[in-house]
Each structure stands twice: as structure tokens, then as C-alpha cells.
Structure 1
Amino acid sequence: MKDPVPGALILGASSGFGEAAALAFAEAGYDIYGVHLDRRAGLARVAEIKARIVEGGRRARFFNGNAASAKKRDRVLDEISGAAEPGSIRVLLHSLAFGTLRPFVDDDGAGMSPEQMNMTLDVMAHTLVYWTQGLLARGLMGEGGRVFAMTSSGGDRVIPSYGAVSAAKAALESHCRQLALELATRGITVNAIRAGVTDTPALRKIPGAEHMIDEAAAQNPHGRLGTPGDVARCMVALAAAGTDWMTGNTIRVDGGEDFVGSRPPAE
């Protein structure tokens, strides 16, 4: 009996790291199930991604909706359950970048609201737990499964207006460690992927993004900025058999950017 075609469920599949991962895993032989939230203007891009996956001989099923909605999550997972064989979802990638970028305290003493804080933590951290639960409850992921979550250096650094997202990234890394502990006996690994500064639509929303891009490109040992494709190819390698002893980590995939200090100004 042939093994089922492996599947990858990508949360945030229409741009940035999610898009790159969808294409890289498809090239590696995975069927792709993508979840994204786009208005009509962004759907043409989604159609292009799907077409590239199908042209490569793999199946592409994409779902447009709020990944933080419990009803939407159940609907998507039920549809995947009807299309995929038990245990065939080998990869879950959490790459959701939707949160509030504003100071905790504004000049007038106001600032981040409880609703904004809770939304950011829910979308960018807690949903990892809920989607993992849903996959396991339906028997879609089993031994050999790989769960990845995109984090950033902002999880332990201070960036203006980034407080809620920073808290979400720290929580996301904590969730990865806890899931790694709980899923070890099931043969499922869970790791956070800490990319360097990468020019994505999400990065462009952060105040001061241009300065971050210039500084990262200047100090990266490779002499260039990392790309989503660089990170996606590493995840494909980490999803291969033989990496089951690597779990609960926050793995730097940044070309060495993070360990290089800021360069002194030119004379």
C-alpha cells in the first residue's frame, strides 16, 4: 500500500513566509492547504500561487477567511478531513501576521486597548494551539508531523509601537515549547522559526522598516537581506525524516544576521 501524499497546512499562505513555504513544500512533493485573509484585490495573487502549485503536479486548496475564527477553523479542518487521508498532514506552518502596531501609552496617556492587545495575542500566538488541536482531534497529523511557527527577534527586543506583537511572539515561542513537550510521545515535533529582517508586507507595516532593512542588509555576513525563500527551503529540510529529535527550539534562520553586532559608523 502506497503512503499517502503528504500535505502541508499553511496559515497565512498568500504572502511573505507563508507564500514562500507553500511553493517550497509543493516543489518538495506536498499537497498544499492554505488559509489566508484577503480582499478582492489580493485574490489575483492567491490565484497565481495556486496555479504554480498545480502546474507542479500538486493539489492546492486555499481558504479565504479569518484564521482566528473558531467557526472558520472548524469548517476548514472539516473540509481538509474530507479530502486528505488520516495522518497525511505532515506540516503545519503558523505564519499569521495581523496585530496592532501602536504604543502602549500615547502622549495623552491612552494607547493600546484591551481589545487590540487581546486580538494581537490571539491571532499571532494562541491560534497555533487551536489549529494544532484541530488537526490532532481529526487524526490529520500523526507520527512524523512537523509544526512550525514564524517568530522574530522582536520577541525579546524592544521596537517602537511593536509591544503587542513582541508579546505575541514571546507567547508563540512559549506555546511551541509546551506543544513540543505534550506532542513528543506522538512523534510530532514543534519548533519556532526565527527569521531575520526580511522584506515582507508584514515588515513594511512596522514603523522604521526601511531603517531595519538597511541595517540588516549591511550587517548580514552574506552581504544581503534574507528572503522568504531562504527560510522556506530550510523548513522543507527540517521537515524531512531524521529530524525528530529536534523539537521545542527557537531556530535562527537568518544567515547569521542575529549574532553580528551593529557596525560602527563609517569615518
Structure 2
Amino acid sequence: MTTSLEGSWSLVLGVSSGMGLAVAQKMAREGGNVIGVHFDTAQGQEKAAVAAEELRSHGVQVHFFNANAASQTTRTDLVPRIAELAGQRGIRVLLHSLAFGTLVPFLPAEGQPGMMPRQMNMTLDVMAHSLVYWTQELHAAKLLRAGSKIYAMTSAGDVKVSSNYGAVSAAKCALEAHVRQLAVELAPHGVAVNALRAGVTVTRSLELIPEHGELVERAAANNPHKRLTRPEDVADAVALLSAADSSWITGNVIGVDGGEVLTA
């Protein structure tokens, strides 16, 4: 059954830029209300405030919180507030788009440190394990209802190796495992859980990868569409998948890359 997203509530973790912002914009254009969590300095907060006002111009409710989405304190503080805002409607869409991890080789290069345990643990906690913890909290608060959709952003780095991407690659593999487990456990509740594997997309997080220039050049040349993936492509996929109550598409890694993985 296809339904309207008008009046629904989306919770976007990582809302201030990239995929998260594009999804928030798409949900607002569809008439959906948006709760966003981001973790920014003063300049980033100003940009987030501007983005929130732009979303409100579509006549929807928008609430952004500048807090560490990977923190238990943040979840403890925000879930009751989210319950107050969403009310009986619950959360239709949860997007996990947290891209904060350590980008260094495992083994030390000359004069440079290698991966430290605290860096590895932080990367997996933020980019993978926090999906489980948010889902647990939202489920306990009865905010995930039949028809709710959970999306986690992964990448082709789950199977490809580059010199600085090891911890993030491990996090993406863990994230996809979490998606499968949550999909099975939430199936009786009618909640779908999927990972979205976007193609190479120019975002703030991509630009932090030392070899990002090479990745962009190769993807632009090889993508069958002859262009890079855009955040809006991901947003369109989220809206399309979220417009149905069915939970029958679940537990998957869904490519949103224009066929990039076929020719990379």
C-alpha cells in the first residue's frame, strides 16, 4: 500500500550536510516533519540554522539539535523529546548518516602513528554501533511502528581496500551486519531496515579521505550515467522506499549509485 509522507516524522542523524541534509530536504518537500541531530562548531551551527529555516518554508515542523548522536547522554535526553514531538504518529523514517571516523593506516608509516585502539573503537561506535543503540531506544519508546523505515548509509568501502580507510571499512561491515540483525528482529513489528550503498558522492566526509581525488576521478569516468552520485539521488531513494507501508524490502544493501559498482 502506498501512502503519503505528508505529516510524517523523520529522524535524521547527521542532518547538517551531505546525505542527511538532502534527505531532510526531500522529506520536507513531501510534507514531512523533520527532527535532525548534528554535531557542529559555531560555523556549522549557523549553516544548520539556515538549513532548518529553509525546511520550515515548506510548512512543516523542523527541530534540529546540535549534539553528539553517538552519545548515550544525547539519546537519553532526546528520545523523550522526540516522543513529545512525533506523538502517536511515531517515527516514519530513521536515517543513520554519521560519518565521523579515523582515517589512518593500521600500520604506522615512517614518522607517523598507526591506528590506536581508541580510534578504532570510536570509529565503530559512531559509524556502526550507534545505529543499534538508537534503534533500541526508539523501539523501547514505541516510536517505531508498522511501516517505519530505518536506513543506514554504507559504501563500496565495505569490500574495497584503501590505505587510510581500514577503520571506516570495518565500521561499514559492522553496520551492514547490524542492519541484517535488526531487520530480522524488527520484522514482526512491520519495520523495515536497509543499508543504502551510495556511489562516490562529493560530501564533506568524502573530502576528508586523503585519496578522495582519485576516487572521484575514477567514479566519474566509470559510472554508466557519466556523473557522480548526488545526495539528492539518495534522498529520492529514501522517499520512494518510504512511501509504502510494506516491510517486505528489508535486510538488504541497496545500491544507490547509478550502476557505479558494476563498472568500477
TM bucket normalised to smaller: over 0.9
Residue 51 (structure 1) aligns with: 53
Equivalent-residue separation in structure 2 for 1:238 and 1:4 (angstroms): 15
Is the 8 Å Cα contact of residues 4 and 88 (structure 1) preserved in structure 2?
A: no
Counterparts of residues 162-173 of structure 1 (less than 5 Å): 162-173=165-176
Is the 8 Å Cα contact of residues 6 and 32 (structure 2) preserved in structure 1?
A: no
Residue 264 (structure 1) aligns with: none
Equivalent-residue separation in structure 2 for 1:114 and 1:237 (angstroms): 40
Equivalent-residue separation in structure 2 for 1:152 and 1:181 (angstroms): 22
Where 2:92 maps in the other structure, the secondary structure is: strand
Deviation at 1:80, TM superposition (A): 1.0
Gaps of 5+ in 1: 262-267
Equivalent-residue separation in structure 2 for 1:169 and 1:201 (angstroms): 18
1:176 to 172, 175, 179: 179
Is the 8 Å Cα contact of residues 194 and 254 (structure 1) preserved in structure 2?
A: yes
- TM-score, structure 2 as length reference: 0.95
1:66 to 45, 55, 68: 68
Could you list the per-position Cα deviations for residues 181-200 of structure 1 after superposition, in whole angstroms to 9, with x for gaps in the alignment? 00000000000000000000
Where 1:245 maps in the other structure, the secondary structure is: coil
| Comparing 192-201 and 67-76, the one that deviates more | 67-76
Residue 120 (structure 2) aligns with: 117
1:86 to 85, 88, 106: 88
| Comparing 235-244 and 220-229, the one that deviates more | 235-244
Which protein, 1 or 2, shows the higher relative CO under an 8 Å CA cutoff with sep ≥ 6? 2
Residue 193 (structure 1) aligns with: 196
Residue 132 (structure 2) aligns with: 129
| CA RMSD after TM alignment | 1.5
Deviation at 1:139, TM superposition (A): 1.1
Question: Aligned in 2, Cα 1:243/1:143: closer, same or farther, shift over 3 Å?
Answer: closer
Moved over 6 A (4+): none
Residue 265 (structure 1) aligns with: none
Deviation at 1:4, TM superposition (A): 9.0
Where 1:86 maps in the other structure, the secondary structure is: helix
Which amino acid is the alignment partner of residue 228 of structure 2? L
Residue 40 (structure 2) aligns with: 38
Equivalent-residue separation in structure 2 for 1:245 and 1:140 (angstroms): 20
How many residue pairs are counted as aligned between the two chains?
259
Where 2:161 maps in the other structure, the secondary structure is: coil
Which amino acid is the alignment partner of residue 32 of structure 2? Y
Deviation at 1:243, TM superposition (A): 4.3
Which amino acid is the alignment partner of residue 52 of structure 2? K
Where 1:190 maps in the other structure, the secondary structure is: strand
